[in-house]
Structure formats: C-alpha cells, structure tokens
Amino acid sequence: MSKFKYSDDELDINSVLKLNQDLSKEISVDKELIIQRSKADANIESTIKLLVNLGKKAEVDDLLVKIDEMKLNQRLNRNLKIENWSSILSEANNRNITSVVLEDIMTDEEINQSFNEYNEIEAQFSSKTGIFNKTDLSFLAVATALQVLKTLLFPYVSKKLGYGDSFNPDDRLAHNDKSIEAEHREANNSFRDKFQERYKSGYWINLLYQTPPYDITAGSKDLGINMGGKAHRMYTLGHDPILGWLFGTANILTDCITFNSFANHRVSRVDPLTSKKKMIITAEQVPLTMMFKECYDMCRADKLNLPAAIFAQALHYKSDIFTKMGLPVPLLSSFNENFASKLYDEHYDALCLARDMKIVGASFIISKVIDIIITLTHGLFNNDEVSKELYEVRTRKILLISNSIASSSTIINTLITKDLRKLDIGSVLNTVGHLFTDIRFIFKIKEEFIESEISNSLQKELDEIDYLFGHL
C-alpha cells in the first residue's frame, strides 16, 4: 500500500510511466541489440586502427574532434511516431492490471532523492525571495512604522469627524415639517407637469401623491405585528435604504407592505367597516411572487406607472432621511433585528453609517497610498539579481507583514480599550485584501519557479539522451 494519495489522473500518469520503464528495461536487456551494438563498436575501432596503420592518423584525429563537437549541440532528430494519450494509456492499463503507485516505479532511495531535490528548489525560492537583507528590512521597518502610525492616529482624527456618533434629533426636522411637505409637493407637481404634457393622465398620478403603503401602522396590532410605533421605518423594507428600491417601489405599485421578516400584507385605502378613506393593514397575505407579478401587470398597463413609483420612492427617501427618525441602517433589520433596533433607538441611522463609511473609505485609501509609495520606491532598488516576478514577491511580503502588524495593533488597541470606534476598519480591510491577493500571488510565482527548475532539470536529462543517441 502506498503512503501517497493519488487522483485518477495521477494514477493514469503512473501507469504510463510504468509502461515506459518496462519498455526501457526490455530494450536494455535485449541480447540482439547488445550484440549489434558491440559489433558496431568493434567495426568502428578496427576501422580507426586500419586508417592509422595507413598513415591517416592526423585525419582521423581531426575527424574525431569534429564528431565530438557535433555531439555537444546535437539534438534527437528522428521521425518518431507520436501516439495519442488514449492509446498509450490503454496499452499501459493492459499491461498494468492493478493501480500503479510511485513505489512500483521508484525505489525508496529515489523517492527520497526526489523530495530532497524538491526541498532544494524550495530553499532556492526562499533564498531568492527572502527579505532578510539590509534593504528589504529597512523597507519593512518604514512600511510598518507608517501603517502603525496611521492606525494610532485614526482614533483621534476619526473622533473629530464624528466617527461612530449618533445624531441629535433636535438638529433635524419633524417628519411633517411644512418645508418638507412643500418641497415634496413641488417635486411631484414638476414630475406630473413634465409628463402630462406628452402623455395622458392615468393612475401614475395617484402613485405620486398618495401615501406609500409602507408608511402605515394602522391594523398592525390587530394582526399581532410589532411595528415599533414611531420607529416603524425599521420594520418595513420600503424604508430600507437599499432593499427599499425594490420592495418599496413594488409596494407603491401594488398597495402592499413588506416587513423586515419578508412577510407581505395587502394595505386597504378604504375602511371596510365605515367605507371611509382610511389606510389600514389587512390580514390578506400576498406572496412575494404574486406581488411582483402584479408589478409586472402594472408596468404593462401604463408605461409611466413604474417611473412614477420609482420617483415616489426616491422622493420619500429624500423627505425621510433628514427627519428626526431618519432612515434605518440598510439590510441590518432583516438579519439582526435586535441590534438594528438598538442602533435605531440610539439615533444611529443611514446617514450616520454613510458618514462612517466615508471615514473608513478614506482610511482604506490612505493605507493603499502608503502601499503604493512603498511598492514604487522598493522597485527602484531592484538590481536585476533576480527576476522581476521574484522581486515582486519580496515587495508583497513587505506589504503583507507591515499591514498585518498594523491591523494587529489596531485590533489589540480596540480589545484593550473596549471601544469599537478605535478600530481602523480601513486598515483591516486593506490587510484582508493583501491576505487574499498577495498570498495567492506568492504561491503562484513559487509554483512557476518550481516547475521551471524541474523543467530545466529534465532538459538536462534530455540533452544527455540526445548525446547518447549521437553515438549510435
């Protein structure tokens, strides 16, 4: 039983190698070929002696020198029959009934020698791409110092920019502020007038002016649905800054309300008991597939229905985002309602997230700028002792190590102080990027280097075979 594991392709290769080995052994012990070779060698020797006895020694010596020179550059040039892989594999499998493993082809000594050669190649790669020299260590020190300094300054700079802070409701307008309503009405009028000049009036005008169904809470208690009262925006996907573009628009088109649990209910605009105009969430559940089917039907009924619904959704975003309740952090309520509720109650909304993402993005860009400066400067010190690819491996090692140290420092600082606002997320994201790209690049170059060295070794063996054929 072999101590190695093989894929099906590797077993096929082993089988073919075993076939070649067996054929080579058969040739090496073929008595008829040995006798013919011996006779040919004897004839050559006797011919040389005869020419020397005839006084042609100088010419013979010159000829032997020319032959030796030709052998040095000679390549195997024969009209060989090249068989396809399937036929070779079929012949190999016919000879080898059982699976062929390395131990069937090589001795333990040969296997150990192969591993030793592989280890030597790996050692060569490590030597050529190692950064334990004065220049690379200097760059590593500078890169690490810059990245760590940036992570240490991050908490102080970000604090001045309000990173992680909640907003003050007193600084914002009420949801029914007259200025918001006036701006809302003016925008709707402008959209209506612009398209009414070219197209006839239709239901699309109602979509502009009527209250969006996801802005209603009446009827939710009777259905056992908690909408959080004034915090109802967190529980409806129509108010989600990302999902709302899909679900909010669909709700406007179909008079449905989609909750953060993805439950979907019909909204009635008429009280079924009094027949008066009153929006209320009904017990009628509408599958999402049916809602989107109704959206499709609405879009086909009038080509302005969809643009009007999207415009109404965008305008609702605009009027809600700067109010005292703001808009919830996108996506979060659908995956972690408790955490989303905690943030919303603490007045941390979508605008706060947008501000913090800009700060994180700026931090990420600064880390990248430092990387670019180190990369370009380090490249100037390449003295062509190694290839460009191997030198780039050294550069990437410097970047990977420096960023890892910087990210570790900001994580440790955050854990010690227990203050998440001190975590330099931009630096961490940059490090994660290096972990994915740099490690993959290093392994790719290493694999190519090993394959190149093995190829060179095989080429030397092929040259020896060519030389041997030159004596035939």
Q: What is the pLDDT of residues 230-240, one digit of tens each?
A: 778 989 999 99
Q: Does the pLDDT at position 396 exceed 90?
A: yes
Amino acid making up residue 229: G
Name which residue leads in pLDDT, 460 or 470.
Answer: 460
Across the chain, mean pLDDT equals 88
Which pLDDT score, from 0 to 100, does residue 274 have? 72
Which pLDDT score, from 0 to 100, does residue 56 have? 78
Average pLDDT over residues 193-207: 89
Distance CA 374, CA 244 (A): 43
Encode pLDDT of 279-330 as tens digits. 999 999 999 999 999 999 999 999 999 999 999 999 999 999 989 889 999 9
Whether the Cβ atoms of residue 374 and residue 394 lie closer than 8 Å to each other:
no
Which pLDDT score, from 0 to 100, does residue 196 have? 87
Of 378, 314, 362, 389, the residue nearest 160 (C-alpha): 362
Which pLDDT score, from 0 to 100, does residue 438 have? 93
| DSSP for residue 100 | P
pLDDT-derived band at 264, boundaries 50, 70, 90: very high
Q: Does the pLDDT at position 391 exceed 70?
A: yes
Average pLDDT over residues 413-431: 94
Of 191, 224, 220, the residue nearest 208 (C-alpha): 191
Q: Does the pLDDT at position 113 exceed 80?
A: yes
pLDDT-derived band at 81, boundaries 50, 70, 90: low
Which ranges in 197-243 belong to alpha helices (H)? 203-209
CA angle 175, 181, 184 (to 5 degrees): 115
Average pLDDT over residues 350-366: 95
Whether the Cβ atoms of residue 302 and residue 206 lie closer than 8 Å to each other:
no
Which pLDDT score, from 0 to 100, does residue 76 have? 52
Which pLDDT score, from 0 to 100, does residue 82 have? 66
Average pLDDT over residues 435-442: 93
Tokens of 244: 């709302």
Name which residue leads in pLDDT, 38 or 407.
Answer: 407
Which pLDDT score, from 0 to 100, does residue 54 have? 80
Distance CA 398, CA 383 (A): 18
Which pLDDT score, from 0 to 100, does residue 110 have? 85
Tokens of 427: 């630096």
Name which residue leads in pLDDT, 467 or 369.
Answer: 369
Average pLDDT over residues 153-172: 92
For 277, the 3-state DSSP assignment is: strand
- With tokens 């996907």, the residue in question is 237
Q: Does the pLDDT at position 75 exceed 70?
A: no
| DSSP for residue 211 | P
107: left (phi over 0), alpha (psi -120 to 50) or beta: beta
Distance CA 267, CA 212 (A): 10
Q: What are the phi and psi torsion angles at 173 (to 5°)?
A: -85, 155
Name which residue leads in pLDDT, 347 or 469.
Answer: 347
Q: Does the pLDDT at position 78 exceed 60?
A: no
Q: What are the phi and psi torsion angles at 226 (to 5°)?
A: -90, 115
Distance CA 404, CA 143 (A): 11
- With tokens 């703001």, the residue in question is 326
Q: Does the pLDDT at position 127 exceed 60?
A: yes
Which pLDDT score, from 0 to 100, does residue 16 have? 87
Q: Is the full-model pTM beyond 0.95?
A: no
Q: Does the pLDDT at position 136 exceed 70?
A: yes
Which pLDDT score, from 0 to 100, does residue 467 have? 64
Of 234, 272, 236, the residue nearest 251 (C-alpha): 236
Burial 331-357 (b: 16+ CB within 10 A, else e): ebbeeebeebbebbeebbbbbbbebbe
Which pLDDT score, from 0 to 100, does residue 77 have? 54
Average pLDDT over residues 390-414: 95
The set of residues, in sequence order, having a beta carbon less than 8 Å from that of 267 and lying 6+ positions away, is 213, 216, 251, 255, 256, 257, 279, 280, 281, 282
Q: What are the phi and psi torsion angles at 358 (to 5°)?
A: -65, -40
